[in-house]
Amino acid sequence: TGKVRILIWGGASEMLLPHEPLTFPDGSQDNVNVLRPLIGYGPEAMWVAFNRFYPPELAHVEARNASPDRSHNEAWDSIVITGLLGFIGYIALFVSIFYWALRWLGLLHGRRDNLLFGAFVALAGIGGSLAFMATDGWQLRMVGLGLPFGIIAGFGLYTAVAAFLHAGEQPDRTDLPRQMLIIALLAALAAHYLEIHFGIAIGATRTTFWVFTAVLMLIGMRQLAVLPAELSLVAEETAPEPVAPQPTGKRGKQAARQAQAPRRRAPVSTAARLPKTVMTDVLVFLTFVYIYSTNATGLTNPGSVLFESAFVRPNNALIPPIFVLMLFTWLVAAVIGLAEESMGQRRAPAMGWWWTGLGLHALVVWGAWLIYGLIQGTRLAPVTPTPGMLNQDFLNLQLDRVGGHFGFYTFVVAGWILVAATVFAWPALRDRALPAAGRVWVAAATGAAAAVLAIFLIYTVNVNLVKADIVYKQGQQFDSQGNWLSSVELYKRALATRQTEDHYMLFLGRALLEQAKQAPVQGTTTLPATLNLGDVLALTPDTVAALGRDDLLRAAETVLLDAQRVNPLNTDHTANLARLYRTWADLAADDATVRSERLAESLAMYDTALTLSPNAAHLWNERGNALLAAGDTEQALASYEHSLDIDKLFDQTYLLLADFLERTGQTDKLIEILNKGVEVFTANNNSQATAQLLSYLGVIEARQGNLDAAAAANERLLEIVPGNVAALRNLAIIARDQGDLDKALDLTRQGLAAAQGSPEELRTMHQLAAELYQRQGDTPALIAELEAIRQLDPNDAGTLQTLSTLYSAQGDNTNALQIAQSLMALDPNNYQYPVNAGMALLGLERRDEALAMFQQAKTLAPAEQQAAIDALIQQAGGS
């Protein structure tokens, strides 16, 4: 969003200005801090260097632990990465492109034009910067937007003026194709220049930029000829001409160039039946196989896997969308490719040529799809373990198969590149071929060495890294299931592939911590006294499962400390160590010494994390919680209050402060902070936070006996969240306490209507309604509410006992018997329940069954109840 970008630009502008050096977790500081405005922080460093300058408002629109790795503005990105020196180079690059493009178009030559161009661009750039700053309270952050807009405006203004200044000049008509291409490239580069100041210049757009720039230079400097599509350059095979005297003067030199230039003539070759674009189309269809081939049903036949993927119809669609997509793509690609071939001919090809071309194109493209699809279908077939294969080996096989899909596709693409390069370059290579005698072995050795190097680089730089990410993603699936043992194993494998990837360390440490929470205090195996990352990565799943709580916590500590070492400026690593020690302290509640030590370590890590990210309100809150656990209430309160000073729109801080004030009995301050929060969040249209605080406020006011204030808070809550069940229940309770039972019942009925989707809320509201009907003495209504509760929770003993009493009092022996039987099923050892069943059976004149119930009750009843049960037995006709 625009707000996110503006906030990030504000932080980036602070990175440019003089500031205190960044401090590392070990206490060392950035030694070249004074040079940062000039040289920047380097590539891919913004997301860790930015933490010191993180604007708290950014947490309202993005995750609080997220740190931007780009400014979404090339001007600020160049300043952060390369400093002012790099920024000057970046500006000079684009201005130079615009300058030379105009020169090659004949719109800029001579001292006057140079001065005008420089003045327009410079003044418009400065003016644009000042204008944008003026709209933002003269903050520096808008310079990154105003400057490029000003430069483009100055460039456009000069171009318009130059058209009038050079109106009398007539361009060479033979040079029009070249000029048109220069204009097209210039327009694309100008559009790119504007676009990268709102978004991120990714690898694809940067590659396109440099390719366009290179083509612009070659065309502008006449190093690359530009001819109409129907013409080609041919060399005249004529006898040598006598060398004429070299002409002098501008006209003479131009005439000489024209005389020396190759002549143009239309080609007369027959149009190829297979378009040149077929190689690109093959790549598209190979990619279709990789993207859309799946085997969710576990098919074993590769052909079935391929065709099931292509012809799948989700939600019973009338047509298979994947196949239609491929068919449409092929049809468009074939027609465009053949049309391009036909346009280079003097005469339109016959219809037979078109049909032959379509057939050949289909054979090549669909054939490539089928071959790769069958291979991929084989790879997607379920993997089955061989007899005697260990679980660990089977897991290795599965991960290699899953992680290998991308690697195989990568090498398929690499093979395609080799074939495509040969196909496209073969005519030029053939025409320029040199005698190879005596150099065959040298050429072969060079080619083999290049192939080995390419394979090595592809595997290590591309395939291996992606494979590690795939394994890491598999681990995240087990996180959601709470299967931490499997998560640990998969994160270990991902980290073993990339041992410097601190992101994997973060997740491995978390998984070990979660495993420790559910592990026994003492395990059946232990870890060595001194641990390193290699020791942790060497653990097998069986060993991890056998470790005790402290050993797992030590393993998590080792991993997180290594993550902090690898990326010390990443606040998450230090904060995670603080959380680890805090959890360790909670788990060691029975050992006061260990608990105290771990809390001290946790607080030390929180202090370090806040040195890295001083504006992280959530870390100040976590620090306050740790201080509260350590018993330092004064510092805990100070930490919460500092968090509130940093970010007045963080609802968690208000709740933590309210909880602290409630614990310490500071009711007046508690009500004050809740009212302040309600006011702040109402003003900022944060209805969720407002509702939460109003609910809390209503409870506190009711506890203080301020029923009118409590009712007002809940009524405001209902205005924000109509039909809020908790608010309706609270209002009903307040009305009950004020003696207005009719109003309480009306609010309860509204709550029941609003709670239809939540069984727990329904149960709560029915309980309140039952209480109100009991107070009114309305027994039938009371029974109806209790039966509703029984339907929601058939095993609620309290409700069943109340119903038993009510049915017995009303003489409803049938229902009384049913309730007694339900109670007996819940608690077979309670003598009272068979007594109740026997009394109901007596009332139904079923004396034999009643006698059996009383006799059963006698076997369960204590001694002091035996006489009473004997009397019941006699009443039933027993002895």
DSSP 254-296: HHHHHHHSPEEE---SPPPSS-TTHHHHHHHHHHHHHHH---T
47 shares a domain with 107: yes
Backbone angles phi, psi at 263, to 5 degrees: -85, 150
477 shares a domain with 563: yes
468 shares a domain with 402: no
Identify the pLDDT of residue 271. 56
In a domain, 638, yes or no: no
Q: Which amino acid is at 64?
A: R
- Domains in the chain, number: 4
DSSP 8-state symbol, 461:
I
In a domain, 352, yes or no: yes
In a domain, 45, yes or no: yes
In a domain, 682, yes or no: no
Identify the pLDDT of residue 440. 66
193 shares a domain with 133: yes
218 shares a domain with 76: yes
Say what the alpha-carbon torsion angle 583, 586, 590, 591 is, to the nearest 10 degrees. 50
Identify the pLDDT of residue 841. 92
**What is the C-alpha radius of gyration for the chain, rounded to an integer number of angstroms?**
40
Domain CATH code at residue 804:
1.25.40.10
β-strand partners of 525: 547
Q: Which residues of the chain have pLDDT under 70?
A: 227-272, 428-440, 443, 878-879
> Please, are residues 30 and 48 in contact by the beta-carbon 8 Å criterion?
no
- State how far the Cα of 67 lies from the Cα of 52, in Å rounded to an integer: 10
* Distance from the Cα of residue 187 to its chain's centroid: 34
554 shares a domain with 510: yes
Tokens of 455: 């394979």
Backbone angles phi, psi at 233, to 5 degrees: -80, 130
Query: Hunting for tokens 């005008």 — which residue is that?
Result: 116
Q: How far apart are the first and last CA of the chain?
A: 87
Tokens of 844: 């139904």
How many residues belong to the chain? Answer: 879
286 shares a domain with 179: no
HEC readout, 505-559: HHHHHHHHHHHHHCCCCCCCECCCCCCCHHHHHCCCHHHHHHECHHHHHHHHHHH
- Name 788's Cβ contacts closer than 8 Å, sequence gap at least 6: 762, 766
In a domain, 95, yes or no: yes
Q: What pTM did the predictor assign?
A: 0.81
- State how far the Cα of 879 lies from the Cα of 874, in Å rounded to an integer: 6
Q: What Å distances lie between residue 284 and 325, 329, 416, 564, CA to CA?
A: 12, 9, 11, 43
Residue 525 belongs to domain spanning: 459-567
352 shares a domain with 401: yes
DSSP one-letter string for 384-450: -PPTT--HHHHHHHHHHHHHHHHHHHHHHHHHHHHHHHHHHHHHHHHHT----TT-HHHHHHHHHHH
Tokens of 790: 């029984």
- Name 563's Cβ contacts closer than 8 Å, sequence gap at least 6: 502, 505, 506, 509, 570, 573, 576
Tokens of 70: 């780009």
Strands 263-265 and 232-234: antiparallel
Rounded to 10 deg, the angle between the 74-104 and 2-16 helix axes is: 90
* Distance from the Cα of residue 51 to its chain's centroid: 19
Q: Please, what's the largest Cα pairwise distance for the chain?
A: 148
The 3-state DSSP class for residue 235 equals coil
- State how far the Cα of 827 lies from the Cα of 811, in Å rounded to an integer: 24
> Please, are residues 571 and 533 in contact by the beta-carbon 8 Å criterion?
no
In a domain, 831, yes or no: yes
> Please, are residues 703 and 665 in contact by the beta-carbon 8 Å criterion?
no
CA neighbours closer than 13 Å in the CB half-sphere of residue 705: 0
Q: Where is the domain boundary, 552, 567, 582?
A: 567
- State how far the Cα of 78 lies from the Cα of 196, in Å rounded to an integer: 11
- State how far the Cα of 367 lies from the Cα of 372, in Å rounded to an integer: 9
In a domain, 596, yes or no: no
β-strand partners of 265: 232
> Please, are residues 874 and 854 in contact by the beta-carbon 8 Å criterion?
no
Q: Where is the domain boundary, 540, 567, 594?
A: 567
- State how far the Cα of 796 lies from the Cα of 790, in Å rounded to an integer: 7
528 shares a domain with 422: no
490 shares a domain with 419: no
12 shares a domain with 120: yes
DSSP 8-state symbol, 245:
P
> Please, are residues 539 and 492 in contact by the beta-carbon 8 Å criterion?
yes
- State how far the Cα of 729 lies from the Cα of 769, in Å rounded to an integer: 10
Identify the pLDDT of residue 175. 83
In a domain, 255, yes or no: no
Identify the pLDDT of residue 439. 66
Query: Hunting for tokens 């003269």 — which residue is that?
Result: 138
Tokens of 854: 């009383």
* Distance from the Cα of residue 349 to its chain's centroid: 52
Residue 596, Cβ neighbours under 10 Å: how many?
A: 14
Q: Where is the domain boundary, 228, 246, 262?
A: 228
Identify the pLDDT of residue 53. 92
201 shares a domain with 60: yes
> Please, are residues 7 and 58 in contact by the beta-carbon 8 Å criterion?
yes
Query: Hunting for tokens 């492109």 — which residue is that?
Result: 97
